[in-house]
Amino acid sequence: MSYQVIARKWRPQTYNEVVAQEHVAKTIANSISKGRISHAYLFAGPRGVGKTTMARIVAKSLNCVNGPTSEPCGVCEFCTEIKNGNAFDVIEIDGASNTGVDNIRELRENVHSAPLKSRYKVYIIDEVHMLSKSAFNALLKTLEEPPAHVVFIFATTEIHQIPETILSRCQKFIFKRIPVAQIVQQLSSIAQKEGYAIDQKALYHIARASGGSMRDAQSLLDQVISFGGKDVTENDVLSLLGIVSLKQYCDCIEIIVGADIPSLIQFIEDIITAGVDIARFVTGFADVVYAMRLCRVTDVSALLGYSDEELSLLKKTAQHFHDEQLSLFYTMLLDCHKELKFTGNERAVVEMFCIDIMHMLKRPTLASILKQLDEGPQAVQKKKLNDSTPKESKAEDDKKIIMHAWTQLLQNLRQSKQY
Ligand SMILES: [Zn+2]
């Protein structure tokens, strides 16, 4: 039997199996079980989060031999044909390649003929926002008076590009980006069923790289399996994606904190040799610094998509810094990323920025200087009570402390403008 890609093989077949879109699944299943069937549904959301999958499940709900039902059987002739993509009465149209008015005119002529053998004719139009203005106008006429046996399901990643006249005739559902932890869980379950041993850390890298898209995550899993075989390690995934691990970022941060320039140069050399894309390394680095800044304030594990182990490493590394330093660190990395576009020597740019960051970290922070300014006179005042030194001399001490702190403050302000 030919190899079937994971995304297709493990495509959810019931409402309960669609990951992270419970709000949509529940509403549609309830309305279908109450016999309230809309003639037009619009599914909007990022790519690869289950819109077309949900559309096919709705088609099964409507046309299943037991239907309309919120629990299509999955085994009858109608369900099986829809699952295999060869149901005559479920017509899938790619809006991106059928953008013209002629395509929609043809559709308008066909909608009036009764379904061949099913209860409903279901039109699933993907990327519907790609239709031309005249195509939308032609479609609108059908939506105004849809034949009783027709249901439209539109899917789009760009809901704002769809005319209001169309939107107002559809039941709209917004699909969510899928959280990293849920992608990891799904990939882990698929890998187990397929008989692959994949390191949990590797799954986290795949899930983060997929940007909340289950389809992208599953395609990456396919690639990783063909690359790594039965046992897939974290390093396999890092090599395939051309990225570095959180542990490596934290190692690099330790080098920067220790102002160890030779180790920094060796580190950059190693990642370049490993085939890591430098621009991607820098944006990933900025993400790590951002995560360090956030994890000090609140529990953001779900938001950041790190495992518990990674999060504790992140928190530990964050202890090296003041908030102010992390903000500056982050800004410098973003500037470094901009600079990379104007250079033929990416390596030099990254090394120079990292050295600048080392210097920045050595300087006193604004907060520490303000604290000194704040505490200085009080500390002196306290000393006055227990001290027998002449008054003029203590006043002189106060002045010295304030002058010193003031000079540092000005210097720091000047430097923080240029890092
Ligand atoms: Zn069925």
CATH number of the domain within which 185 lies: 1.10.8.60
Tell me the CA–centroid distance for residue 31 and ligand 1, in Å: 18
Distance CA 372, CA 364 (A): 11
Q: What is the DSSP string of 89-154?
A: TEEEEETTT--SHHHHHHHHHHHTSPPSSSS-EEEEEETGGGS-HHHHHHHHHHHHS--TTEEEEE
What is the mean pLDDT of the segment spanning 225-250?
Answer: 89
What pLDDT, on a 0 to 100 scale, did the predictor assign at position 64? 96
| Residues 12-33 pLDDT 10s | 999 999 999 999 999 999 999 9
CA of 299 to the centre of ligand 1 (A): 44
Give me the pLDDT at residue 30, please: 94
Structure tokens at 208: 């983060």
pLDDT of 329? 96
- Co-location of 277 and 371 in the same domain: no
Pair 188, 83 in one domain: no
Beta-carbon count within 10 A of 407 CB: 11
**In a shared domain, residues 329 and 352:** yes
How much distance in Å is there from the Cα of 53 to the middle of ligand 1? Answer: 16
Instruction: Answer yes or no: do 207 and 194 share one domain.
Output: yes
- On whether both 216 and 267 belong to a single domain, the answer is no
Taking 70 as the threshold, does the pLDDT of residue 79 lie above it? yes
Q: Which domain-ending residue is among 330, 362, 394?
A: 362
Q: How confident is the model at residue 414, as a pLDDT?
A: 67
Is 233 inside any structural domain? Answer: yes
Q: Which domain holds residue 99?
A: 6-174
Question: Are residues 294 and 324 both part of a single domain?
Answer: yes
72 CA distance to ligand 1 centroid (A)?
Answer: 5
- Please count the structural domains in the chain: 4
Quickly tell me which residue has 């060869």 as its tokens: 86
CA neighbor of 214 nearest in space, from 191, 182, 244 = 182
d(CA 300, CA 292): 10
**CA 8 to ligand 1 center in whole angstroms:** 19
Task: Compute, in angstroms, the gap from residue 155 CA to the centroid of ligand 1.
Answer: 23
Tell me how far the alpha carbon of residue 188 lies from the centroid of ligand 1, in angstroms: 29
Report the 10 Å Cβ neighbour count for 324: 14
Distance CA 276, CA 287 (A): 16
Classify the complex by whether its ipTM is higher than 0.95, answering yes or no: yes
Residue among 311, 179, 316, 310 at smallest CA distance from 245: 310
Q: How far apart are CA 248 and CA 266, in angstroms?
A: 13
Domain final residue pick, 154, 174, 194 = 174
Q: What is the pLDDT of residues 363-380, one digit of tens each?
A: 888 777 887 787 766 655
Instruction: Give me the pLDDT at residue 53, please.
Output: 96
Identify the sign of the CA torsion 305, 309, 313, 315: positive
How many angstroms separate the alpha carbon of residue 400 from the centre of ligand 1? 86
Mean pLDDT of 307-318: 90
Residue 1 lies in a domain: no
